[in-house]
């Protein structure tokens, strides 16, 4: 059904005056889709901010091409932003949109298949020109040819209305047209009763130096809002009540932002200067951008000549007493592997952030994947163990960064923090923590000799370990009497001198492994969500699949079935009780956005018959699909109700 | 946080370093007394057995450096030597300073992170011709263009020593080695030309066996604020013995060596028979002193801002080492990366240090009340 200029819901408008009805919903999924040049990500982010400040729970899924500007109006150039918001706690950006905003024919063509029948399409009819239709292979205009009869379609001349609204501004046509995303945002803001002040403030701030552009965007935004209020095309607006949340102060935050703030916090809580060595790479660059703005916290950021120099400089800074950090994505981790081995050998704190993307090689730079787990675990020559930590949601990237820093500093080891593209760019409301509640990460540098030479003179032994943590002392240049040399050649136990002794190498190899393994005693037991405690099937995951798995488990439980959710933050070492926990269940399902990497580890380590369920589509799992898979497993155990 | 001005590149205390680091240093001073800066060569030695082949040029360089460093008046604990991989890169183990024997080619990058975050230290890099110019070429040129305060000693033996004698990026064309039985094909780098091409602010060259000349170049390099590169010709008596004999042999050396002395005319050779003059294309050429007017002879000026003069000097020598300038080619002042980075941090803190609580609660926030 295509509606042009007539109310969606019959009976809601009265002759002589518009009476608009308000429908209350508990949740909505909106997908904004347009050309890469249409500003869909900005529009999505603004709508998200409005939604966050309104108090809904939310989750977002930006999805954009790797090309900065693929040819205009083509399928590869389509950029989209999906937002799920609700009056209750939600875990994912939504499996499928309820509403699709299509700024051109390409956006419609690329996204329509995801919109369930009956869903609402809002399309910019101005862009459905014969030329644009031909570009994506539409022989006739879908807004007119009846092919969209299974959906509700509202065709709105968004571009020309924007031009009309800006007619008096003196802006050229091209310039004025750019504001059509703000017109659209205005319309959506009306439809969903979003507060508008934030966007007005944002536009004023953003275009501080170009007041005429700020004014035009604000005018277009208001025009879109007013259009919603007065047009007959939209007779209904929707209300989604704020979600109950624990009392406190909230902000909307993306994974990369949270991760960067976590690193700043780690510097503050450890009292150490943060040094970031990084080479730009999608989807990790925003961490570099964010950290480079926080020099007032003593954060030094160094854009290196390549990833090797990124990690090298960070390790050099760690040797000097800084919290060394390097951020990258999979291809960069490949380049860093030799230096990671050095970090394992010289046992200095280092946080290595891998914001995973589709691989191998350049792969899918802007899409998400979890396929670097085994690289993080084993991607180095020799026995080179290191702890691996994974955040589960955008906001959780903050805590994960603090935890990675804690382990790196306490155990004097490189730590791999595995985020991914979905967490990095996705956003959610985040309860702002109180600084005093953050963990204390203070460290003590070694300032006095800890041993004695044969003649009794005090001597510094750089590899004399703390008996509990097996960490070696951290003595920094500038500290008298503690001069020592570290390096990649095998170290003699305690003295750290070069040693080729077979027994020593065997000992040191085992000590380095024992140090990492021992961290299991310093982390919480396995996090199991099994409400009744009698589920026979468990789903285990790590990293960003937390949301989709959690949402799937809720569905399963709503169907009357029982299921346990286990989610790992510490992937190496894993919680000490994990093997025992897994063995409690008849069946264990492990969904991953790779070809079964965690499943491989679990099977090898615990001899548990883990059933792997995988997907590598560059997108997060859909909760409904996951639920179906797990439900089948549950039903096959005979534990239907 | 101290905000006292940067004093010098010699690891002087008083440069901006972070509070906790300062505390650790203060603690060690409290425990062990004031920093010792009156040192002797023997204070620089470690108890580690030196493991170069007998007769290796690395020994003489080590001795020269150990004798020279105390003259800088820097405490041992304020010096850090970072090396890559190669025979030469074993250097830090023999120096009683802080040190890191890192991975092949990466020392300049590691040292950059250290020097940029600890401007109070005197940071040194020791590297070989393969380490610096082959696997680590990228890091070297970027360190040089950034001008981080550190001194890079490039031990050039024109061969891969540690891996037992393959040709290197500085080996002459046609070099017969294990990996090039019919002679090497690729054209070598001239490390000095490369460094000047990368806009290095300090570039010098010295000979391992010339204690006096080497010490003088090291002194100037150490005093230089910014990245200093010193190419040291080093004999590998096992795999490339005699590589520099043309310059070392008293009978040929003076003929082919052009000593660079700032402010002095470039006259060299027995009886000053040869000199350097400008050519018709803005470059330099060798002339016979008695064939030119004294005013035509170039007076060495290492401080020229424009690198083309120093580059032209570096191009006088050929692969076979005839007409090799030795000394300081270029020494110009430019702000250092670490200094500028420290300045940006200071500037960002003009309104006081960052407030973590305010940062976390930044952006649009909303409050949910109980
Ligand atoms: C990644 C890596 N590749 C190769 C090697 C082997 N390797 C060690 S030293 C070296 C060459 C060293 O030559 P140079 O830098 O000239 O040092 P020299 O031994 O001559 O002092 C090579 C190829 C290594 N250690 N690491
Ligand atoms: S191989 Fe050559 S460079 Fe290496 S230690 Fe022996 S003589 Fe020196
Ligand atoms: Mg060599």
What angle separates helix B57-68 from helix B211-223, to the nearest 10 degrees?
A: 50
- Nearest Cα of chain B lies from the Cα of A297 at a distance, in angstroms, of 5
pLDDT tens per residue, range B22-41? 999 998 888 888 899 999 99
Question: What value does the mean pLDDT take over residues A443-461?
Answer: 93
**Do A187 and A229 touch, CB atoms closer than 8 A?**
no
Pairing of strands A120-124, A152-156: parallel
Please count the other Cβ atoms lying within 10 Å of the Cβ belonging to residue A364: 17
Residue B16 has what pLDDT?
A: 59
* Phi, psi torsion values for A166, nearest 5 degrees: -105, 15
Question: What value does the mean pLDDT take over residues A208-227?
Answer: 95
Please count the other Cβ atoms lying within 10 Å of the Cβ belonging to residue A545: 28
Q: Which residue among A313, A445, A480 places its CB closest to the CB of B112?
A: A313
Taking alpha carbons only, the member of A373, A90, A120 closest to residue A236 is A120
Q: Which residue among B28, B36, B368 places its CB closest to the CB of A248?
A: B368
Question: What value does the mean pLDDT take over residues A24-29?
Answer: 96
Pick from B154, B157, B163 the residue to mutate for probing ligand 2's pocket: most ligand atoms within 8 Å of its CB. B157
Report chain B's mean pLDDT, rounded to a whole number. Answer: 94
- For atom 11 of ligand 1, the residue with the nearest CA is B160
**Do A273 and A323 touch, CB atoms closer than 8 A?**
yes
- pTM value? 0.94
- What is the domain partition of chain A in residue ranges? 21-240, 251-437, 528-639
Taking alpha carbons only, the member of A300, A386, A298 closest to residue A346 is A386
Q: What is the layout of strands, in order, in the sheet containing A274-278?
A: A300-303, A274-278, A323-328, A350-356, A414-420, A388-389, A570-572
- For atom 24 of ligand 1, the residue with the nearest CA is B104
Please count the other Cβ atoms lying within 10 Å of the Cβ belonging to residue B242: 11
- State the greatest distance between any 2 C-alpha atoms of chain A, in Å, as a whole number: 105
Say yes or no: CB of residue B168 within 6 Å of ligand 1.
yes
Domains A21-240 and A528-639 alike in fold: no
Residue B236 lies in a domain: yes
Residue B19 has what pLDDT?
A: 86
- Report chain A residues whose CB lies below 8 A from the CB of B144: none
Contacts of residue A162, defined as CB under 8 A and 6 or more positions apart, other chains included, come to A176, A177, A179, A180, A182, A183, A220, A223, A224
Which site among A319, A351, A445, A481 would you substitute to test the B interface, given the most B Cβ atoms closer than 10 Å to its Cβ? Answer: A319
Is B343 a residue whose pLDDT tops 80? Answer: yes
Residue B10 lies in a domain: no
What is the C-alpha to C-alpha distance for residues A415 and A523, in angstroms, rounded to an integer?
14
Residue A5 has what pLDDT?
A: 34
Residue B8 has what pLDDT?
A: 35
pLDDT tens per residue, range B118-146? 999 999 999 999 999 999 999 999 999 99
Pick from B89, B130, B152 the residue to mutate for probing ligand 1's pocket: most ligand atoms within 8 Å of its CB. B130
Q: Where does A528-639 sit in CATH, by number?
A: 3.40.50.920
pLDDT tens per residue, range B264-302? 999 999 999 999 999 999 899 999 999 999 999 999 999
Residue A23 has what pLDDT?
A: 94
Q: What helix, strand, coil percent values describe chain B, rounded to 5?
A: 35, 20, 45
What is the C-alpha to C-alpha distance for residues A410 and A429, in angstroms, rounded to an integer?
31
Please count the other Cβ atoms lying within 10 Å of the Cβ belonging to residue A46: 24
Q: Which atom of ligand 2 is nearest to the CA of B240?
A: 2
What is the C-alpha to C-alpha distance for residues A551 and A538, in angstroms, rounded to an integer?
14
How would you class B216 by CB atoms within 10 Å of its CB: exposed for 0-12, middle for 13-18, buried for 19 or more? middle
Is residue A400 very low, low, confident or very high in pLDDT (cuts 50, 70, 90)?
very high
Say yes or no: CB of residue B148 within 6 Å of ligand 2.
no
The segment with the largest mean pLDDT, out of A37-41, A449-453, B56-60, is B56-60
How distant is the alpha carbon of residue A104 from its chain centre? 28
Which residues keep their CB under 5 angstroms from ion ligand 3? Answer: B 128-129, 157
Is B11 a residue whose pLDDT tops 50? Answer: no
How would you class A127 by CB atoms within 10 Å of its CB: exposed for 0-12, middle for 13-18, buried for 19 or more? buried
Contacts of residue A133, defined as CB under 8 A and 6 or more positions apart, other chains included, come to A105, A139, A140, A141
Which site among A485, A488, A496 would you substitute to test the B interface, given the most B Cβ atoms closer than 10 Å to its Cβ? Answer: A485
Q: Which domain holds residue B217?
A: 23-259+323-348
A289: left (phi over 0), alpha (psi -120 to 50) or beta: alpha
Question: What value does the mean pLDDT take over residues A440-448?
Answer: 95
Please count the other Cβ atoms lying within 10 Å of the Cβ belonging to residue B279: 12
Question: What value does the mean pLDDT take over residues A193-214?
Answer: 94
Report chain A's mean pLDDT, rounded to a whole number. Answer: 94
Q: Where does A251-437 sit in CATH, by number?
A: 3.40.50.970
Is residue A401 very low, low, confident or very high in pLDDT (cuts 50, 70, 90)?
very high
Say yes or no: CB of residue B87 within 6 Å of ligand 1.
yes
pLDDT tens per residue, range B38-67? 999 999 999 999 999 999 999 999 999 999
Q: Least CA distance to B74: which residue of chain A?
A: A478
With an 8 Å Cβ cutoff, are B345 and A300 in contact? Answer: yes
pLDDT tens per residue, range A258-295? 999 999 999 999 999 999 999 999 999 999 999 999 99
What angle separates helix A40-54 from helix A197-206, to the nearest 10 degrees?
A: 140
What percent of chain B is predicted at pLDDT more than 70? Answer: 95
What is the C-alpha to C-alpha distance for residues A362 and A358, in angstroms, rounded to an integer?
8
Report which secondary-structure segment, H or E, holds A158: helix A158-165
What angle separates helix B137-146 from helix A307-319, to the nearest 10 degrees?
A: 60
Residue A602 has what pLDDT?
A: 98
pLDDT tens per residue, range B201-235? 999 999 999 999 999 999 999 999 999 999 999 99
- Report chain A residues whose CB lies below 8 A from the CB of B48: 497-498
Question: What value does the mean pLDDT take over residues A59-85?
Answer: 91
- Report chain A residues whose CB lies below 8 A from the CB of B365: 249-251, 432
What is the C-alpha to C-alpha distance for residues A281 and B351, in angstroms, rounded to an integer?
32
Return the bridge partners of A252, or none: A429
pLDDT tens per residue, range A539-594? 999 999 999 999 999 999 999 999 999 999 999 999 999 999 999 999 999 999 99
Rounded alpha-carbon distances, angstroms, from residue A419 to A327, A373, A387, A627: 10, 10, 14, 24
Pairing of strands A27-35, A78-86: antiparallel
What is the C-alpha to C-alpha distance for residues A248 and A257, in angstroms, rounded to an integer?
20
Residue A3 has what pLDDT?
A: 37
Say yes or no: CB of residue B130 within 6 Å of ligand 1.
yes
- The DSSP code for B25 is H
* Phi, psi torsion values for A537, nearest 5 degrees: -120, 135
Taking alpha carbons only, the member of B172, B209, B176, B205 closest to residue B189 is B172
User: CA torsion sign, A50 to A55 to A56 to A57?
Assistant: positive
Residue A8 has what pLDDT?
A: 35
CA torsion A516-A521-A527-A528 (nearest 10°) is 110
| H-type alpha helices, A192-301 | 197-206, 211-230, 255-270, 285-291
pLDDT tens per residue, range B153-207? 999 999 999 999 999 999 999 999 999 999 999 999 999 999 999 999 999 999 9
- For atom 5 of ligand 1, the residue with the nearest CA is B104
**Do B270 and B279 touch, CB atoms closer than 8 A?**
no
Residue B1 has what pLDDT?
A: 33
Q: Which residue among A53, A294, A480 places its CB closest to the CB of B75?
A: A480
Residue A17 has what pLDDT?
A: 54
Is B14 a residue whose pLDDT tops 80? Answer: no
Residue B358 lies in a domain: no
* Phi, psi torsion values for A101, nearest 5 degrees: -100, 115
What is the C-alpha to C-alpha distance for residues A26 and A31, in angstroms, rounded to an integer?
17
**Do B277 and B292 touch, CB atoms closer than 8 A?**
yes
Q: Which residue among B36, B344, B368 places its CB closest to the CB of A295?
A: B344
DSSP B137-152: HHHHHHHHHHT-SEEE
Residue A454 has what pLDDT?
A: 87
Rounded alpha-carbon distances, angstroms, from residue A187 to A184, A216, A225, A408: 5, 16, 5, 49
Pick from B157, B236, B241 the residue to mutate for probing ligand 2's pocket: most ligand atoms within 8 Å of its CB. B236
- Nearest Cα of chain A lies from the Cα of B235 at a distance, in angstroms, of 25
Residue A7 has what pLDDT?
A: 32
Residue B363 has what pLDDT?
A: 79
Taking alpha carbons only, the member of A17, A20, A16 closest to residue A8 is A20
Residue A640 has what pLDDT?
A: 52
Q: Which atom of ligand 2 is nearest to the CA of B239?
A: 2
- For atom 6 of ligand 2, the residue with the nearest CA is B53
Taking alpha carbons only, the member of B302, B153, B329, B150 closest to residue B226 is B150
Pick from B53, B57, B129, B168 the residue to mutate for probing ligand 2's pocket: most ligand atoms within 8 Å of its CB. B53
| H-type alpha helices, A15-157 | 40-54, 105-111, 130-135
Pairing of strands A458-459, A451-452: antiparallel
Please count the other Cβ atoms lying within 10 Å of the Cβ belonging to residue A468: 9
Residue B355 has what pLDDT?
A: 96
What angle separates helix A307-319 from helix B107-117, to the nearest 10 degrees?
A: 50
Residue B7 has what pLDDT?
A: 32
With an 8 Å Cβ cutoff, are B101 and A306 in contact? Answer: no
**Do A462 and A497 touch, CB atoms closer than 8 A?**
no
Taking alpha carbons only, the member of A314, A479, A415 closest to residue B114 is A314
Q: Where does A21-240 sit in CATH, by number?
A: 3.40.920.10
Please count the other Cβ atoms lying within 10 Å of the Cβ belonging to residue B66: 19
**Number of domains composing chain B:** 1
Task: Report the CATH number that the domain containing residue B164 is assigned in CATH.
Answer: 3.40.50.970
What percent of chain A is predicted at pLDDT more than 70? Answer: 97
**Do B64 and B155 touch, CB atoms closer than 8 A?**
no
Question: What value does the mean pLDDT take over residues A79-97?
Answer: 96
Residue A639 has what pLDDT?
A: 56
Beta strand extents in B149-218 (DSSP E only): 150-156, 202-207
What is the C-alpha to C-alpha distance for residues B36 and A480, in angstroms, rounded to an integer?
9
Q: How many helices (H) and strands (E) does chain A have?
A: 20, 26
Say yes or no: CB of residue B88 within 6 Å of ligand 1.
yes
Residue B31 lies in a domain: yes
Residue B301 has what pLDDT?
A: 98
Is residue B370 very low, low, confident or very high in pLDDT (cuts 50, 70, 90)?
confident
DSSP B245-265: HHHHSTTTHHHHEEEE-TTSB
Residue A18 has what pLDDT?
A: 63
How would you class B254 by CB atoms within 10 Å of its CB: exposed for 0-12, middle for 13-18, buried for 19 or more? middle
Q: Which residue among A242, A272, A304 places its CB closest to the CB of B109?
A: A304
With an 8 Å Cβ cutoff, are B114 and A487 in contact? Answer: no
Say yes or no: CB of residue B161 within 6 Å of ligand 1.
yes
Residue A11 has what pLDDT?
A: 36
Say yes or no: CB of residue B129 within 6 Å of ligand 1.
yes
- State the greatest distance between any 2 C-alpha atoms of chain B, in Å, as a whole number: 97
- Nearest Cα of chain A lies from the Cα of B78 at a distance, in angstroms, of 5
Cis peptide before A304 (omega within 30 of 0): no
């Amino acid at each position: 059904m295509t509606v042009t200029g007539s109310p969606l819901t019959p009976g809601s408008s009265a002759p002589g005056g518009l009476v608009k009805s308000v429908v209350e919903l508990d949740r909505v999924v909106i997908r904004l889709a347009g050309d890469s040049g249409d500003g869909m990500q900005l529009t999505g982010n603004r709508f998200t901010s409005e939604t966050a400040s309104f108090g809904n729970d939310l989750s977002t899924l930006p999805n954009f091409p790797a090309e900065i500007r693929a040819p205009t109006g083509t399928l590869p150039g389509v950029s989209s932003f999906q937002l799920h918001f609700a009056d209750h706690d939600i875990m994912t950006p939504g499996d499928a949109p309820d509403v699709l905003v299509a700024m051109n024919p390409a956006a419609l063509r690329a996204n329509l298949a995801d919109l369930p029948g009956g869903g609402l399409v809002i399309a910019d009819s101005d862009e459905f020109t014969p030329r644009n239709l031909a570009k994506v292979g539409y022989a006739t205009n879908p807004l007119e040819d009846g092919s969209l009869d299974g959906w509700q379609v509202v065709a709105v001349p968004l571009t020309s209305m924007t031009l009309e609204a800006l007619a008096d501004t003196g802006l050229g046509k091209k310039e004025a047209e750019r504001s059509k995303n703000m017109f659209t945002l205005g319309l959506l803001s009306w439809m969903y009763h979003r507060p508008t002040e934030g966007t007005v403030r944002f536009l004023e701030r953003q275009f501080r130096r170009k007041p005429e552009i700020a004014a035009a965007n604000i005018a277009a935004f208001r025009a879109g809002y007013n259009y919603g209020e007065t047009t007959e095309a939209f007779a209904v607006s929707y209300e989604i009540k704020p979600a109950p949340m624990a009392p406190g102060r909230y902000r909307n935050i993306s994974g990369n932002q949270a991760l960067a703030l976590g690193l700043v916090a780690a510097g503050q809580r450890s009292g150490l200067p943060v040094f970031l060595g990084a080479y730009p790479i999608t989807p990790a660059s925003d961490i570099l951008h964010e950290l480079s703005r926080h020099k007032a916290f003593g954060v030094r950021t160094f854009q290196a000549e390549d990833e090797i120099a990124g990690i090298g400089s960070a390790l050099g800074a760690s040797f000097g007493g800084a919290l060394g950090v390097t951020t990258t994505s999979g291809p960069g981790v490949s380049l860093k592997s030799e230096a990671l081995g050095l970090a394992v050998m010289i046992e200095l704190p280092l946080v290595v952030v891998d914001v995973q993307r589709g691989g191998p090689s350049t792969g899918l730079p802007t899409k998400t994947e979890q396929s670097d787990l085994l690289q993080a675990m084993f991607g180095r020559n020799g026995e080179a163990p290191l702890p691996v930590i994974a955040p589960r949601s955008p906001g959780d990237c903050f805590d994960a960064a603090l935890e990675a820093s804690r382990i790196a500093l306490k155990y004097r080891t490189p730590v791999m923090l595995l985020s991914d593209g979905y967490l990095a760019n996705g956003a959610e409301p985040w309860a702002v923590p109180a600084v005093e509640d953050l963990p204390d990460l203070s460290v003590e540098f070694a300032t006095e000799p800890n041993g004695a030479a044969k003649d009794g003179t005090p001597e510094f032994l750089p590899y004399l370990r703390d008996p509990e943590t097996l960490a070696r002392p951290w003595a920094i240049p500038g500290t008298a009497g503690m001069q020592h040399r570290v390096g990649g050649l095998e170290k003699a136990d305690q003295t750290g001198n070069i040693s080729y002794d077979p027994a020593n190498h065997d000992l040191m190899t085992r000590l380095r492994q024992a140090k990492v393994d021992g961290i299991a005693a310093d982390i919480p037991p396995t996090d199991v969500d099994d409400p009744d405690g009698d589920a026979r099937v468990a789903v285990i995951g790590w990293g960003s699949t937390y949301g989709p798995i959690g949402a799937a488990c809720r569905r399963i439980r709503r169907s009357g079935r029982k299921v346990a959710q286990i989610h790992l933050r510490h992937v190496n070492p894993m919680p000490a009780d994990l093997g025992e926990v897994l063995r409690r269940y008849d069946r264990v399902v492990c969904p991953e956005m790779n070809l079964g990497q965690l499943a491989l580890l679990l099977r090898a380590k615990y001899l548990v018959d883990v059933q792997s369920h995988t997907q590598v589509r560059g997108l997060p799992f859909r909760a409904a699909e996951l639920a179906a898979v797990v439900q089948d497993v549950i039903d096959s155990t005979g534990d239907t109700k | 946080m101290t905000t006292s001005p940067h004093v010098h590149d010699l690891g002087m205390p008083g440069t901006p370093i972070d509070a906790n680091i300062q505390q650790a240093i203060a603690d060690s001073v409290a425990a062990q007394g004031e920093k010792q800066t009156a040192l002797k060569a023997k204070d620089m030695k470690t108890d580690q057995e030196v493991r170069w082949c007998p007769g290796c040029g690395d020994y003489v360089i080590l001795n020269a450096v150990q004798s020279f460093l105390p003259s800088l008046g820097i405490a041992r604990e304020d010096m850090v030597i970072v090396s890559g991989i190669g025979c030469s890169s074993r250097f830090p183990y023999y120096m009683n300073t802080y040190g890191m024997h890192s991975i092949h080619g990466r020392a300049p990058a590691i040292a950059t992170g250290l020097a940029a975050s600890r401007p109070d230290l005197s940071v040194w890099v020791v590297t070989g011709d393969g380490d610096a110019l082959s696997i680590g070429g990228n890091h070297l040129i970027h360190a040089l263009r950034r001008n981080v305060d550190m001194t890079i000693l490039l031990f050039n033996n024109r061969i891969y020593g540690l891996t037992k004698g393959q040709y290197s990026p500085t080996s002459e064309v046609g070099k017969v080695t294990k990996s090039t039985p019919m002679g090497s094909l690729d054209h070598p780098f001239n490390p000095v030309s490369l460094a000047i091409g990368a806009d290095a602010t300090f570039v010098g060259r010295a000979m391992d066996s010339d204690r006096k000349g080497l010490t003088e170049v090291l002194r100037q390099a150490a005093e230089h604020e910014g990245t200093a590169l010193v190419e040291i010709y080093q004999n590998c008596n096992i795999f490339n013995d005699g590589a520099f004999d043309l310059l070392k042999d008293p009978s040929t050396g003076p003929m082919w060596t052009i000593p660079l002395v700032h402010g002095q005319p470039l006259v060299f050779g027995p009886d000053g028979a040869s000199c350097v003059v400008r050519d018709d294309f803005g470059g330099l050429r060798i002339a016979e002193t008695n064939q030119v007017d004294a005013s035509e002879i170039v007076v060495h000026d290492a401080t020229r801002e424009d690198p083309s003069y120093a580059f032209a000097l570096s191009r006088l020598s050929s692969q076979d080492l005839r007409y090799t300038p030795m000394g300081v080619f270029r020494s110009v002042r430019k702000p250092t990366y670490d200094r500028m980075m420290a300045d940006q941090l200071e500037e960002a803190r003009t309104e006081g240090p960052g407030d973590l609580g305010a940062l976390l609660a930044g952006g649009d926030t909303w409050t949910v009340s109980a």
